Amino acid sequence: MLLKAYTFCNFGRSCAQVRKLHLPTSLCNGRSNLSMETGPVIMSSNEYGVSSSSIDYPVLIMHGVLGSKNNWNSLAKALNKDTKRKVIALDARNHGDSPHTAEFSYDLMAMDVIYLMDQRKFNKACLIGHSMGGRAMMRVALSYPERVEKLIVVDISPIQISATLVIEKYLDLFENITIDDNLPLSQGRRLADQLMNEYVPELDIRQFLLSNLTKVNGKFRWKANITSLKNSFENIVKFPLTTEVYKNPVLFVGGTKSDYLKVEDQDRILKYFPRAQFEYLPAGHWVHAEQPVAFLKLSAEFIKSSNE
């Protein structure tokens, strides 16, 4: 997700003043065998249920920056139960258990989604994306409109980004944390939590960030490809709008306490998504996590509604 800013300058420090901890390259990069190809990757996924009808298209979900498919476990199960459709939560490239690549962009993420659909022989799908994932799914709809039945975008705009975006600072923080490989994973996470606490006082934010810390072959690493995300930061901040238009229904769900989906963007959004509707729930950027019942109701009703 594109996280809301809890800026380090609030604590009298700039990001450059984060304590340097001599990070090993292996922890930062996660995997040394980075793909240099610009083709699609095979994304890791969690699947829930089956579609009750052969005419019901599956629901594909993509998380935000530094998130993973596991962020959507509960809601994916609930959506499957409510809509009677197969639901698949995805790990975007450079996130979770999906491959790490040097290249990272919305066009590539869209290509990955279409590749999965082709491999699974899904003619169409209903797409859901939060924050970065919402932009990736918008890119799919604009580039491959014939493959997208309908679209749900959670707290993100294709027009402009939040003024409080702080992801780059979190990436810098990740680069400056090192953990002794002799520690077990539980102790390593506690140590990382202590190191982060000075700069990220919000426990829920730290827990979200620390879900990226894992141990592979006895060595700590971040699941997210920090180097690639930093190098591709401009590709995350800027959404590639052209003259393309997606003419099927789109539901934008924003948080009233967030500035990622601004009301003043709606007229411009409608130029690209003329059948868009907008709903706002009393929440921050994590709308689906803060208001799961209301979000589930909105999403399920939209998915089950006619495209006419």
CATH number for the domain spanning 154: value is 3.40.50.1820
pLDDT interval class at 162 (50, 70, 90)? confident
Q: What is the full DSSP assignment across 144-193?
A: -GGGEEEEEEES--SS---TTB-HHHHHHHHHT----TTS-HHHHHHHHH
Take residue 298 and report the two structure tokens written for it: 């909105």
For the stretch 28-44, pLDDT in tens is 444 434 444 579 999 99
Rounded CA separation 109/95 (Å): 11
Specify the higher pLDDT residue, 135 or 205.
135
Q: Is residue 308 part of a domain?
A: no
Higher pLDDT, residue 9 or 107? 107
Does residue 32 belong to any structural domain of this protein?
Answer: yes
Task: With respect to residue 73, please indicate whether it lies within any of the assigned structural domains.
Answer: yes
Q: How far is CA 58 from CA 1, 93, 120, 150, 212, in A?
A: 23, 20, 11, 11, 27
- Rounded mean pLDDT of the chain? 87
pLDDT of residue 70: 96
Residue 105 lies in a domain: yes
Distance between CA atoms of residues 3 and 166, nearest Å:
6
Instruction: Provide the pLDDT confidence category of residue 139 given band limits of 50, 70 and 90.
Output: very high
Question: Could you tell me if 151 and 250 are in contact, meaning their C-beta atoms sit under 8 angstroms apart?
Answer: yes
- Domain around 71: 1-303
| Per-residue pLDDT reduced to its tens digit, 282-303 | 999 999 999 999 999 999 999 9
Q: What one-character-per-residue DSSP string does 127-154 give?
A: EEEETHHHHHHHHHHHH-GGGEEEEEEE
| Residue 279 domain flag | yes
The count of structural domains within the chain is 1
- Determine the Cα–Cα distance for residues 219 and 184; give it in Å rounded to an integer: 10
Helices of type H across 253-291? 266-272, 287-290
Residue 52 has a pLDDT of 66
Instruction: Using alpha carbons only, give the angle 193, 194, 196 rounded to the nearest 5 degrees.
Output: 65
CB atoms within 10 A of CB 20: 10
**Segment 108-125, tens digit of pLDDT:** 999 999 999 999 999 999
Per-residue confidence band for 240, with pLDDT thresholds at 50, 70 and 90: very high
Of 2-6, 132-136, 158-162, 249-253, give the lowest mean pLDDT range.
2-6
pLDDT recorded at residue 14: 32
120 within some domain: yes
Q: Work out the number of other CB atoms within 10 angstroms of the CB of residue 57.
A: 21
Give the Cα separation of 130 and 178 in Å (integer): 29
